Structure 1
């Protein structure tokens, strides 16, 4: 307690004890059930009860581990407490709060001094009852979670959380929000005082353009201005993942445009974000501030950052470079007009074969390090359309295997890594190259990443449910990142021609040259336009889909292993599934006893669910 200035003992009860008193006495506790939710109705006051109840009450209080007066009133003007409030879990504690010796937790003054029943200006029609949520009938169903209608904090099962709730209107407020005033002044958003509109109604917010009665609404009757409470403090200048320039908030547009995120019409009667460079790019307010689009930073008073063009190599001479992934050797540019198709020594970055175009080849005679010209020019940092934070190119750990966060494909080539936003994501260079609009050789219309937040779509090619899909706005075609990055042109060892990716009407009913099973014309296949040979994708490319090649001393999840070709006359048996592996490659792993074990790709495959 060294950081607290002159703490005073308080005759108030700890909120944790009020929430758990039902373990010792049912006198002040009542169970309630609503919409498959279970609540404990707290009728226990926030101060010590009268004298006749003190004996039994104090016994329960001591059994709970609390001393007589465990709460201290704290007024620490020099620093804020680092912990969140133990009752509402809000991280904004401030400099005045209560502190419990038993719980070692700070508590808001409002959370401690919360009477069982209140009347709030945010919900004047009914009284609000103090409750603590219990387990739901369906714990995995997020639709049963209740929220604070003011700050939008969710109240999943937590036996210590306090909430004021109206069971008639399904309206909730945490103890701090319940004491907020019914008016607000924020002149950056609107010049007049905004007053809370207490009734639930479908009024369109002038800032986000959405009608949603689940949110608290503020109005200015003088100007006929309506705004959701959550929209009042929306940023004024932002940067999003879908556009190269900053966007600024405005209430009107010179002409009707489509949203750069959802691709739907933007109504110029409501707020939106448009490009500050006047490049005719506009986004709905709701779409621009999605957690998968915006990084959460307000840039209104921040200086414009200079775009750093960080190359991955140093130019040594005419056509000669030193690449950051291969600094001990010089590499020379070679226009590979004489290279028809080389899958023996693929590119070190994307692990794809060469089929014409420019390459960089190591000048040292005994080194086979090569790069596509495009892969050699990969930028050090990259902003991807599917994530609000920038990615950093990783090239020095190419013996490290990873699953791409977008296509779920195993790879050990170059990767882009981002550790911001509360999670670490690695993506391969093929997925990193996808941008909007995405043009695929097998589809006539451009594709856009216009997914609704949190909504799965079925890929039109593989049929798998994915959160990230590239969508056609004209014909309802959806393409997952795995199928979008399949190579369009490949070679088969027993066919002298190129095979191309084909879909639906481009192929007639036939059979696969490898497994000899009938092909489904509704799924993509590889076909030879010269001789008519057709192949399943996995039969031709394998489960790894050409993103790995035979290699030694690879690392995955702390284990070292080798990737070996499965080209013997007799197919090896997988030590995991006990069947002969039909894939083109296998994983060779050594256990603690130095015994060699072979596994097929499915042993390492990421769970699609």
Structure 2
């Protein structure tokens, strides 16, 4: 009796990588980094089918549009590049940090934006500030005659005038667009139960957001895997179908 031929796990292709990718569920202890946005990867994603190839992608990075029109660069559209346009790295014109993964690029202006920066929200709220913060595509000090520098109100570092900033005009309050705006808490510590209550509320809000994003990615990845399995099964069944007869008159 002939042995059954093993069935290959469904895979997909992405133009950023030479090998097929398969659905993958990353755990925090794996310490995996997305090859597209270079951020930590958890939950449902994609990985290279080659065991010796450490290539991973968020589902959101897998589905990024090839071209986008962005308010920060209205004169030209931005094209998704899967590798740095100038060698091994580039500097993001949004946050000022280096990048070596995907970028949205304007080749005419040599303008580059991390894919993680390109789709950040236009407004956000901080628990330590009474007004919503609005995303600006340069600091309020840009083109000032006195050459004043804008200072982040969270980390108290001076910012280049061309960097993006989350800003409250009413209070002249602004932050960097990433760690200072969302993740880090530089507030002076309060005493006793007040501090614990505030930290608990902040952490629960972040946890709810992470859980929601994780659930959405997992659902989409399961749907994609089911679709790939169905397509693979249909292809296999097609090999065993009886050939259609042709009649000649």
Length-normalised TM-score, structure 1:
0.26
Aligned to 1:465: 159
Deviations 1:179-198 (A, max 9, x none): xxxxxxxxxxxxxxxxxxxx
1:322 to 13, 16, 40: 13
Higher-strand-fraction structure: 1
Aligned to 2:206: none
2:112 to 406, 426, 439: 426
- 2:23 counterpart SS class: strand
- 1:322 counterpart SS class: coil
Aligned to 1:374: 60
Alignment of 1:76-475 (within 5 A): 320-326=11-17, 328-336=18-26, 339-343=27-31, 345-354=32-41, 356-388=42-74, 389-397=76-84, 400-420=88-108, 423-439=109-125, 445-450=131-136, 454-455=143-144, 457-462=150-155, 463-467=157-161, 468-473=164-169, 475=171
- 1:449 counterpart SS class: strand
Aligned to 1:515: none
- Residue 442 (structure 1) shift: 6.8
Between the two structures, name the one with larger relative contact order (CA 8 Å, sep ≥ 6): 2
Query: Contact 1:472–1:478 (CA<8 Å) still a contact in 2?
Result: yes
Change (3 A) 1:348 1:432: same
- 1:350 counterpart SS class: coil
Change (3 A) 1:441 1:413: farther
Deviations 1:104-140 (A, max 9, x none): xxxxxxxxxxxxxxxxxxxxxxxxxxxxxxxxxxxxx
Distance (whole Å) between structure 2 residues aligned to residue 402 and residue 485 of structure 1: 23
Matched residue pairs, number? 174
Unmatched tracts of structure 1, length 5 or more: 1-317, 489-500, 510-528, 531-609
- Residue 481 (structure 1) shift: 3.4
Unmatched tracts of structure 2, length 5 or more: 1-8, 192-198, 201-249
Distance (whole Å) between structure 2 residues aligned to residue 357 and residue 444 of structure 1: 33
Higher-helix-fraction structure: 2
CA RMSD of aligned residues (A): 3.3
2:187 to 492, 504, 513: 504
Distance (whole Å) between structure 1 residues aligned to residue 14 and residue 125 of structure 2: 30
- Residue 475 (structure 1) shift: 4.0
Distance (whole Å) between structure 2 residues aligned to residue 441 and residue 410 of structure 1: 29
Change (3 A) 1:323 1:439: farther
Aligned to 1:299: none
Length-normalised TM-score, structure 2:
0.57
Distance (whole Å) between structure 1 residues aligned to residue 119 and residue 64 of structure 2: 9
Distance (whole Å) between structure 2 residues aligned to residue 439 and residue 448 of structure 1: 9
Distance (whole Å) between structure 2 residues aligned to residue 392 and residue 470 of structure 1: 25
